[in-house]
Structure 1
Amino acid sequence: MKSILLCLSMMILPTLAAAATPFDGFYVGGQAGLGALHTYMELEDADNDEQDDQGDWGLGPTGGIFFGGGGAIKDAFYLGGEIDAAYHGLSADPTSEETLDLNWSFGARIRIGGVIADNHLLYTMLGLRVGLFEYDNRTGYDYEFENGCCDCDQDDDDCDDDNWGSEEKPVLGGASVGLGYEYAITDHLGMRTEVGYTLYAPLEYEYISGARQYWDESIYPSVLDATLGLVWHF
């Protein structure tokens, strides 16, 4: 994350030398909206034969805060970057015996776009996110995660299920893209709307007991959200 922030700073600082539009400089803001969590599940037996595959959608609120900076080059082309923290009230059921919730996520992204008629900014977003999930498996079979949590036994104190990174609270990384529009109400206050999509790394685990012993399951989570927010430019 430190290297990402350093790269963003190196790209942004040269654009701040001569502020000429309302979008130049550093800014802070907040936004809220609606999100959708999609989960797609694949289940394979010990012979790698597919036994099941299904998906589910869950809708819920989303919102967060952000901080960033950027500037217009020749009052037209815009380059910037920002970091953000977001809350998600999203839940989906990969199967009738499993539930995956997304509670929080943190991201860093670049914004590339153009300034139109001085007070309109259209941009696209590219970035990386980390999602803090909660997972509930009610199949009755024992299982071990292959990613998304610490590498330890369930009885290990370092893998307490109350902690993020445990088997009940996996942490997954992902890549995000999106589109946004910002309108400069004044030289300092702006309003923006965004639509973003994040594809997270799959949650993978192996069953180690019962009729599903040596079966592998993968859950592929992704999030689509639409938000409306306010921005304050310094």
Structure 2
Amino acid sequence: MTDTDAEINARHAERMKRMQAARKKMMAKKTNKKGLIIIHTGNGKGKSSSGFGMILRCIGHGFPCAVVQFIKGSMHSAERELLKDRFSDICQVHVMGEGFTWDTQDRERDIAAATKAWEKAKDLIRNPDIKMVLLDEINIALRYDYLDAEEVADFLLNEKPEMTHVVLTGRNAPDVLIDIADLVSEMKEIKHPFRKQGIAAQPGVEY
């Protein structure tokens, strides 16, 4: 005999009621708060976009925040321009990179730019009034040894204010940072229009 819609709906409602009760019980124990070390890595698209989304969320809450761009400084970024044009009173944006390594073709210059960006990042992170600092594409600088990953990890563990969130983006996040992070997300590429169809980067999607 086939169950009626009313019987199916009643069972569904009962399951949801049990799930709700279990979740309330679980959430009642989750009361601790702290500033998080957050990593967005992987070979898929969306790492920087996710970081900028978290910055906009902070702005929506009225929290002071900051962005330091380590690599893509020479490239147009609609998110960056939006922050600078409309939210400069609450979000600092520091463009420190000069482009990808294959554009600059000057390792010493890239190291100098990354070092300067890291010094600015440390100043921002040390400021307890800033709720979140996005270190956009810092993982790329670490991958090419423009910065010392151990030094970055040590700073985040020992000098970051207790309630400050720091978001690090870029492919190939080093293990030492993954080990100390509170939240790590990996963007995995399944399909990309550039690779499959030769479609160029487009405004509103890639930048």
Using structure 2 for the length normalisation, give the TM-score.
Answer: 0.20
More helix by share: 2
Larger relative CO (CA 8 A, sep 6+): 1 or 2?
2
Using structure 1 for the length normalisation, give the TM-score.
Answer: 0.19
More strand by share: 1
